[in-house]
Structure 1
């Protein structure tokens, strides 16, 4: 029998993002008002062969001076920062000179909320602003890997909006696949489209599972309709109303679609199924492949432009099975890879901007509301 995993790993995919020794070293800018934090980061990076230079910034003037004189490949930025906070700095960097930003956040609720706003504004990831985290080689390997992947991307200006035929079959679930760097686009689509009150909408995020409870709390307080964490253990169908949130790292999959609705569960804890990215983004492909098998005709999936290519192979399966597969193009994330991977393997029915995606989703919603639909 051909399994979900067989289908996923037989699909065309981008080359692995693993770092090789011959890859160029990375320049890091650590921006934090605490000299002890900067010293700890500098020490750790000084011992890491992948880092060529660690530049320190104690305030926003230092950050923007460094961007002018010695541009870094990645910024490690404290959420609470002197002069401008991390959110304001993130927004300014993305407007002036996009550079990958990783946020250091304290455990206090206010600081985490600001860090989540940074993700919505273009930051790629959050790491704990603790001695334990900032003394971990895994933290800095991940930081340098993000920088290398973003650095390797070639600017693309040849991405016209492409439209295709979209089935008007009833829609029972909408999946928003938000990989690294794509949270802002996903929330724009969710807040502007009209589906949320009529069918379950599921945000699939690459965020670390340790941050998920606080992230869902923040979304619940931020979004008009609220948000809730999907319970993969109960076998209960997804419901409309609050935004349903699930982490890609738990490898969610569709296990049933019937008169009660669509039901999600997690894959068994089998070692070979562990995703090969630390953010667990291969879970996008697991979810989309299972959707293609069980609920293709009832589902719409939107792949928002993120740093990795994860999700493109699963989206291709959904399209082939008769599902509706949409891709954000061009992407709001300046370091997007997934959109162009999807184009290369012909993974979607439609490629459109955020506003174009909203229009298409609203059209589907209007068709759904017609008598006899």
Structure 2
């Protein structure tokens, strides 16, 4: 029997949509088995001039039927959707016909875990499934912004030839820059490379700070060596072993690198402007620029392909200062912008897929062992 899902996914479609004029209203699909939640979301977006239509789906089959008959710009998807849950729907859509997905999560460990798995599988963001959160102007702005950014993406250019400059210097820290949509790539690199066992690894995430404690808990339970929040307050050196996690919106920076280790801190109090991007991802540039200034040749940074281009300028600074700058290309995120921006400005020593990046990092690990660093 041919299902509705098979029919919609068998139709040809471009992975990246053609550019659309800035400010064009977006079409939203809300998928939730609670009619009150669907009515709330529909009412909120109907009142927004940035939304042209808000479609509804009660279950996974409704989602696939709507994808067959309409073209939503973004899907608000309940994590615990009836039938196929949000994780299964996310995986089906992202593998076969990518559409931007934002997960609606209920408070509770099980639902958070499923929502984070959705992020790892290609969803772009998480919003709380509460009346207050779904009714807020901030949520509407986030949904519209993500949808518009995907609509405005140009078709991907051809990937450049793989570059493999991984010259030998002592490595004190590895930074994995996981922008919106790039969590899955970042975790693949971390879990597969040997270098992560011998030096501190920092996952810099675009996730909202309010979700960070639950996110770190989930990582700590998911990863073999666990995870912890990076200490930005007490000046303690980073440690190898557990994955160090920091939010880009915290505007972290490298303040020291010596025999005691690499030390991160937040920006000092002062007249700093608020992050320019809704997710605060320009904190990537702050971190990389500081690393370039403090100890460039001791740092390795990997930019995983995400929706925003934040961090590319900082990566270029790190490369010019003698650090190792790697970029994931082609990106696993079907809406990646950062990888191609990095190519255009020559921001990295190496452009390669996840498997090849792991090979390069393993080479650095072998160099560390030979040199006794």
TM-score range (shorter-chain normalised) is over 0.9
Cα deviation per residue 1:73-120 (whole Å; 9 max; x = unaligned)?
000000000111110000001012100000000111100000000000
Which stretch of the first structure deviates more once superposed, 272-281 or 92-101?
Answer: 272-281
Q: How far has the Cα of 1:157 moved from its partner?
A: 5.0
Say whether the 8 Å CA contact 2:178–2:305 is kept in structure 1: yes
Say whether the 8 Å CA contact 2:22–2:148 is kept in structure 1: no
CA–CA separation in structure 2 for the residues paired with 1:148 and 1:234 = 40
After superposition, residues 342-361 of structure 1 pair within 5 angstroms as 342-361=342-361
Corresponding position of 2:329:
329
TM-score (norm 1): 0.93
Corresponding position of 2:47:
47
Q: How far has the Cα of 1:272 moved from its partner?
A: 3.5
Q: Is 1:145 matched up with 2:145?
A: yes
Say whether the 8 Å CA contact 1:59–1:82 is kept in structure 2: yes
- Unpaired stretches in structure 2, ≥5 consecutive residues: 1-19
CA–CA separation in structure 2 for the residues paired with 1:28 and 1:338 = 25
Corresponding position of 2:8:
none
CA–CA separation in structure 2 for the residues paired with 1:106 and 1:251 = 28
Corresponding position of 1:250:
250
Corresponding position of 1:23:
23
Secondary structure of residue in 2 paired with 1:236:
coil
Corresponding position of 2:306:
306
Say whether the 8 Å CA contact 1:203–1:245 is kept in structure 2: yes
Corresponding position of 1:218:
218
Secondary structure of residue in 2 paired with 1:318:
helix
Corresponding position of 2:105:
105
Secondary structure of residue in 1 paired with 2:246:
strand
Corresponding position of 1:206:
206
CA–CA separation in structure 2 for the residues paired with 1:119 and 1:161 = 29
Say whether the 8 Å CA contact 1:161–1:330 is kept in structure 2: no
Change (3 A) 1:262 1:22: closer
Number of corresponding residues: 354
Corresponding position of 1:196:
196
CA–CA separation in structure 2 for the residues paired with 1:81 and 1:259 = 51
CA–CA separation in structure 2 for the residues paired with 1:138 and 1:271 = 24
Q: How far has the Cα of 1:154 moved from its partner?
A: 2.0
CA–CA separation in structure 2 for the residues paired with 1:330 and 1:21 = 26
Corresponding position of 2:88:
88
Corresponding position of 2:162:
162
Q: How far has the Cα of 1:195 moved from its partner?
A: 1.4
Q: How far has the Cα of 1:71 moved from its partner?
A: 1.5
CA–CA separation in structure 1 for the residues paired with 2:177 and 2:371 = 30
Q: How far has the Cα of 1:297 moved from its partner?
A: 0.8
Corresponding position of 1:37:
37
Secondary structure of residue in 2 paired with 1:231:
coil
Q: How far has the Cα of 1:165 moved from its partner?
A: 2.3
Cα deviation per residue 1:279-323 (whole Å; 9 max; x = unaligned)?
110000000000000010100000000000001000000000000
Which stretch of the first structure deviates more once superposed, 150-159 or 348-357?
Answer: 150-159
Cα deviation per residue 1:226-265 (whole Å; 9 max; x = unaligned)?
0011111010100000000000000000000111010000
Secondary structure of residue in 2 paired with 1:273:
coil
CA–CA separation in structure 1 for the residues paired with 2:269 and 2:185 = 31
Change (3 A) 1:158 1:32: same
Change (3 A) 1:208 1:271: farther
Secondary structure of residue in 1 paired with 2:367:
helix
Q: Is 1:76 matched up with 2:43?
A: no
TM-score (norm 2): 0.93
CA–CA separation in structure 2 for the residues paired with 1:91 and 1:292 = 37
Secondary structure of residue in 1 paired with 2:361:
helix
Q: How far has the Cα of 1:219 moved from its partner?
A: 0.2
- Unpaired stretches in structure 1, ≥5 consecutive residues: 1-19
Q: How far has the Cα of 1:278 moved from its partner?
A: 1.6
Say whether the 8 Å CA contact 1:161–1:329 is kept in structure 2: no
